[in-house]
Every structure is written in structure tokens, then in C-alpha cells.
Structure 1
Amino acid sequence: MKLAIIGCGEVGRLYARAASAHFEVVLCDSRPAPAARELAAELGLPLHESAGEWLGTVDRVWSCVTGDVSATVADQAGAHLPAGATFVDMSTATPADKLRSAENLSGRGIEYADAVIMGAIGLTGLDTALLVSGAAAAVAVKDFAAIGAPARALDGGRPGDAAALKLLRTVLTKGLEALGVECLVAAEKQGVRDELYRVLADIDTQGLTSFLNAVVRTHLLHAERRSHEVERAVAQLDEAQLPSSVLAGSYGLYERTVASLAQNPPEPGTADSIDSAVTWLLSVSDTDTTVAV
């Protein structure tokens, strides 16, 4: 089985090293870094700098490029891949871009899988979980299993569904990261960081998913009170001359919810379940409740 890995950054090199014991691996990178050349030399792997006729004998492609060039790479590779080959897009491209790539490749008889990395390979390496969707998801999962990489296929998932979930995860994780920076820096300046960890212990005990559902559900009940609390927290950071831009954005969201509650109040009991709470929040997300912040 011949596998081409396109993109030899940290991700590509990790999977290339693992795959070299199970597949006939070929590397491709338009601007190979010294680390890529060293890996190719160490493992005795061919290293190409562009798509070409050499792809005509490839059975699998794992595209490990950045999201902004993923569609271009798919088109370039697809022009040379044989019908029946499988193209696995491991980039962080948008769901729409991945869907378009899948449709284009499918028209050429090439199967497509949308695969995303759910974690930081710099921390967990080959053990980092993968989520896969698209027509070739089962094939991709089997190939990943062969090299010891944990992967799960979305039941009935379309190309782009895995990417959508990855980016939704980013909304939460990167938002928490940004708030974490604001919070811990402020706590350090005020000399209370050790105590802060103690007062966050209830979240550790409850678990993130339960905590997330609880705060979103009760957001409908307590948005106004919480908006005042956030306003005071912003003032505290501003007084300490510390960044508060992420928290200020949170204040804007609370104010929009307060306006929505006044204009389109939910039915009694809506906040009793996360399903009904999210449904109401979605129903007012497109309404014009712009407020001055």
C-alpha cells in the first residue's frame, strides 16, 4: 500500500514516521524544512516538492497542510491520483472547503475523508484522538489503526462534519485559553493565584461538560445578574491596568441576552433543560438585539 503524506510539518512528520513501518511512504512538501529532509534521509523516503505524475501509483494520501491551502492541494493531487485512491484531508480547513474538495475529488473517482486532530500532538503525539467523516471514513480509520493512531468515524458524517466539530471545539478551548490568560495574569498580579485554583475546585469536581450545560441552561435565568458581575470584573481588570478584551466581549453577550429576554421572553420552564435552553438561544441569535457596550 503506497501512502503519500503531503505537508511535512510537525503533523506530517509524526504520521510519516509511524506509517513508514506499515506503508510504502512518499513525502511531499513545497518548501521542506531541514527537519523534513532529515526525516526523509533517516527513513529512506522519497521527498517531492510538488504534485506530479509520481502520484499516479499512490493508493492513499494524507494531506497534513494548513487549512488555507488544503483545497488547492486537494485539486493538485487529484489531477494525478488514480481512480479508487483515497484522499484524507487532515487540515483545519473550513467545513465548506472540505465539502467542496470532497465533491471535486469524487467527480474524479477519488474517495475523500475529512479527518481532524482533536488535541495537541505536541503533547500527546500519536495517541492524539482523530475524528473522521466522509465516504472514506471507515478506510481512514482502519489505516490510522494500523499505525496505532486512535480514530473514530462519525456515523453518517458528511465531509466537513468532522471539521465543523473541530472548529466548535476551538470556540470553547481557545475562548477558555484567552480567558485563562486574562484571569491567571490578573490573579498573579493581585497575589491570589494559589487561592484562585482552590475556588475553582468545584468545576473540577463537576466536570467540564456538566458545568457547560449548567451555565448555559441557567444563563436564561441569571443573565442580567451575571452581566453586572462581569461588568465589575472588567472594571477590576481595568483598574489593575490589565487586559480585559475577552471578558469585555463576554459582557456584550450577556447584554444581548438581557435584551432578548425582554423582547422575546422564553416560555416558563425553558431553562429546565439544556435542549430547550439552547433552542431558545438559537431562536434569538439572529434577532436584532444590538446594544451599546
Structure 2
Amino acid sequence: MKLAIIGCGEVGRLYAAAAAAAFDVVLCDSFPSSQARECARHLDVELKETIGEWLGEVDRVWACVPGDVADSAAEAALPFLRADTVYVDLSTATTAGKKEMGQRMSARNVAYVDAAIMGAIALTGLQTPILLAGPRAETALADFATVQAPARALADGEPGDAMTLKLLRTVLTKGLEALGVECLIAAESQGVRDELYLVLDDINQAGFTQFLNAIVRTHVVHAERRSHEVHRAIAQLNDIGLPGTVLAGTSGRYEQTIRSLRESPAPSGTADHIDSAVAWLLESTLARNEN
């Protein structure tokens, strides 16, 4: 089976190396780096610099390009793809962009699969999980299993669904990353970073998902009290000359919940379960946004 990998950055090279033993691989990169050329030489595969008629000979395409060029890469490839080709888009294009591309490829009888890499390739390499969505997601799932890359297909998922979940994950992980930077540099400046890790051990013990549900669930009850603690933390960062821009924004979320609670208190028992807590928080947030 012939596999074309479009884009020879870190992601493309990783999957090329894994796939070379199982597929007849051809690489494509419009501006190949020295690492891309070395990868092609090492794997003894062809490296093309333009998308063209040669794509009509491939069975699978894995697009490993940056999100901002995913649409142009797919558009360039589409005229040359066979009707039975499975095009797997591993880019970080927008949800709307992937939905639209899925529709355009479907109109040409090309199977488009939205693939979202759920983690950092630089940290976990080939073992980084992949989430798949689209009518031929199961086919892509089998292909990734062949190269021992962990993947999961969303049941009844459509193009864009995997990217929706990835970007929701980004809300949390990148927000934590920014807060982590603010917290650790402040701890380092005060000489207490090692001790900080010790006082965070309760989160390790609980498990992150359980911790996340617990703090969101009880936010409905304790938002006002916790907002005072946030203000004191902001003051501490200001006092040491490391004002926290992310933490300052956090106080806005607390104030929004506090206003909602004052105007329309949550029903008794709302904080007893994560489902009822999230439902109330969503409803109250939408109501405030409409006003």
C-alpha cells in the first residue's frame, strides 16, 4: 500500500519513520529542510517538492502540515486524489476548516479523516494518542495500528469533531501551562519551588480528572470565598514584582460566577454532582452573555 506523507516537519518525519516498514512511503514538502532530506535518505524513500499527478498513485495520504496551510495543501492535493483515497488530516486546522474540507473531499468521493494529535509529539513521540473522526476513521485507525501509533475513532464522528475536542483540551492544557509558568517562576524567586511540589501532592493523589471535577463542582458553592484567595495571590505576585497576567484574568471568571449566584442562586444540590454543576454554570454563563 502506498502512503504519501505531506509535510516533513517533526510530525511528518516521525510517522514516516514508523510507516516505512509497513507502507510504500513517499514524502512531500514544498520547502524541505535538511532534516527532511536526511529523513528521506535514511528511509530510502522519494522526497517530492510539489504536489502533482503522482498523488493519483497513492492509497493513503497523511497530511502533517501546520494548521495555517492545511487548507491550501488539501486544495492542492484534491484534484489528483483517487476516489478511494483516504486523506488523513493531522494538522491543527480549525474545526470549521476541517468540516469544510471534509465536505469538499466527500463531493469528490475522497474519504477525509480529521485526525487530532492529543499531546506533545516532542514529549511522547509515536506513543502520542491520536483521535480520529470521519466516515473512514476505522480505516485510518487500522493504518495507525499497523505502525503501532495509539489511536481512537469517535463513534459516528464527523470531520471537525476530533479537532473540537483537541481545542477544548487546549483551553485546559495551555491555560495550565501559562499558570504553571507564573506559579513556578514566582516560587523560584522566593526559594520555595521544591516545597511547592510537596504541597501539590494532594492533586497527584486524587488524580487530575477527579481533581478537575471536584474544583468545578464546588466552584458553584465556594466561588466568592475562593475569589478572595485569588485576590490575595494576585497581591503576592505583585509584591514580588512578578504580576500574573493569567491569574488576573482568572478573577474575572470568579466575578462572573459570583454575579450569577447573587442574581439567580443555584438550586439546592447543584454542587453535589459534576453534571448539575456544569449545566448550571453553562446556563448562567450563556444568560449573562446574552445580556
After TM superposition, list the pairs within 5 Å mapping 1:242-257 onto structure 2. Answer: 242-257=242-257
> SS state of the match for residue 288, structure 1?
helix
How far apart are 1:253 and its partner, in Å? Answer: 0.6
In the alignment, which residue of structure 2 is the partner of 1:37? 37
User: 1:59-74 counterparts in 2 under 5 A?
Assistant: 59-74=59-74
Pairing of 1:202-281 with structure 2 (within 5 A)? 202-281=202-281
**Using the alignment, how far apart are the partners of 2:92 and 2:136 within structure 1?**
18
Instruction: Encode CA deviations 1:22-75: one digit per residue, 9 max, x unaligned.
Output: 111111111111100111122221111221111111110000001111112111
Q: In percent, how many aligned pairs have the same letter?
A: 61
Shift of 1:209: 0.4
Give CA-to-partner distance per residue, 1:191-234, whole Å, 9 cap, x none.
Answer: 11111111111111001000000000000100011111101100
Following superposition, the deviation at residue 260 of structure 1 comes to 1.1
State how far apart, in whole Å, the 2-side matches of 1:192 and 1:36 are: 44
Q: In the alignment, does 2:128 pair up with 1:148?
A: no
Matches within 5 A, 1:3-14: 3-14=3-14
Q: How far apart, CA to CA, are the structure 2 residues paired with 1:7 and 1:271?
A: 47
CA contact (8 A) 1:259 1:289 kept: no
Unaligned stretches of 5+ in structure 1? none
Distance 2:221 2:50 in 1: 57
Q: Report what 1:115 is aligned to.
A: 115
Letter in 1 for 2:16: A
Instruction: Letter of the 1:44 partner, please give it.
Output: D
Q: Partners in 1 of 2:179 and 2:75 — Cα distance?
A: 39
Show the counterpart of 1:132.
132
Per the normalisation by structure 2, the TM-score is: 0.97
Q: Distance in 2 between matches of 1:212 and 1:146?
A: 35
* Alignment pair present for 1:46 and 2:46: yes
CA distance in 1, matches of 2:209, 2:6: 36
Distance 1:208 1:44 in 2: 44
CA–CA distance in structure 1, aligned partners of residues 44 and 191 of structure 2 = 54
What is the TM-score when the length of structure 1 is the normalising length?
0.96
Give the letter for the 2:247 counterpart: L
Is contact 1:115-1:162 (8 Å) kept?
A: yes
Single out whichever of 120-129 and 108-117 deviates more from structure 2.
120-129
Q: In structure 2, what is the Cα distance between the partners aligned to 1:155 and 1:31?
A: 37
Is the contact made by 1:75 and 1:105 (CA closer than 8 Å) also made in structure 2? no
1:104: which partner in 2?
A: 104
Q: Deviations over 1:132-167 (max 9, x none)?
A: 111111000100011111111111111111111111
Greater shift in the superposed pair: 218-227 or 150-159? 150-159
1-structure distance, mates of 2:132, 2:108: 21
Query: Could you tell me which residue of structure 2 aligns to residue 17 of structure 1?
Result: 17
Helix, strand or coil at the partner of 2:112: strand
1:190 Cα offset (Å):
1.1
- Looking at structure 1, the residues matched to 158 and 259 of structure 2 have their Cα atoms a distance apart, in angstroms, of 37
Unaligned runs of 5+ in 2: none
Aligned equivalents of 1:243 and 1:174: distance in 2?
Answer: 19
Q: Provide runs of 4+ in structure 1 moved above 4 Å.
A: none
Aligned-pair distance for 1:122? 1.3
SS in 1 for 2:288: coil
Cα distance in 1 between the residues matched to 2:98 and 2:50: 21
Give the distance between the partners of 2:42 and 2:271, measured in 1 at CA. Answer: 59
Q: Are positions 1:57 and 2:67 aligned together?
A: no
CA distances 1:99-133 after superposition (whole Å, capped 9, x unpaired): 11110001001001111111111122111111111
Q: Shift in Å at residue 289 of structure 1? A: 6.8
